[in-house]
Amino acid sequence: MKLQPGARDEKETASRPNEEYIILASASRARAKMLSCAGISFNVVPADLDEETIKQSFQLDGMGFDNSRIALVLAGRKASYVSKSIPDRLVIGADQILDLDGECIDKPADRRQARSQLIRLSGRSHELVSAVSVTCNGRELWNYVDRARLSMRNLSEEFVDAYLDRIGDAAFTSPGSYQVEGLGVQLFDRIDGDHYTILGMPLLPLLDYLRRRQLVLS
């Protein structure tokens, strides 16, 4: 079954942990900043997963490329990986996929790759698919996936080189080699979708879930 943007929620009977028991299973500074600015107390424990192998497994199962499904599975596995080693904590996992006409674009490994990505994306539209999963004791309690569409303006090679000079290693921290909350916004002439989804995690649905669990004030 093809998953569409939306949510999944299961009734849980476990006791509700206090806010300080929330774990973010991600090394992403953008995701940590989102939670922190929203007033959420949490600890960061990145999940050490081989994401590329997981993505490749989707090509072998005969179901093809489904960016929503991949993002949900990766978010869930990150949360589950950390949750199994830290019991009785609420663990948040998240993942983001850049979909360029059915092709998954990963984070660039170096400047050459970043430059190549930007030139490919120039003058074209792509989607960012962001998923979030909440797990406790290895069991997924809730998840959500959302997408945004971004249209990149036509970029000259001179602009691309100057842009990469200015942002430095930040180009290697996200698929597409940009962050719209910074200089990367200059790459686009149209952005459609939720701001937090673009940053890498659907924050508003997550906050709603945490309120329903009475982990943040309602």
DSSP, collapsed to helix, strand or coil, labels residue 77 as helix
Catalytic residues: 95
> Distance from CA of residue 102 to its chain's centroid?
18
CA distance 57 to 9: 26
Dihedral of the alpha carbons of 197, 201, 204, 205, in degrees to the nearest 10: 110
DSSP, collapsed to helix, strand or coil, labels residue 61 as coil
CA distance 48 to 31: 17
CA distance 91 to 107: 24
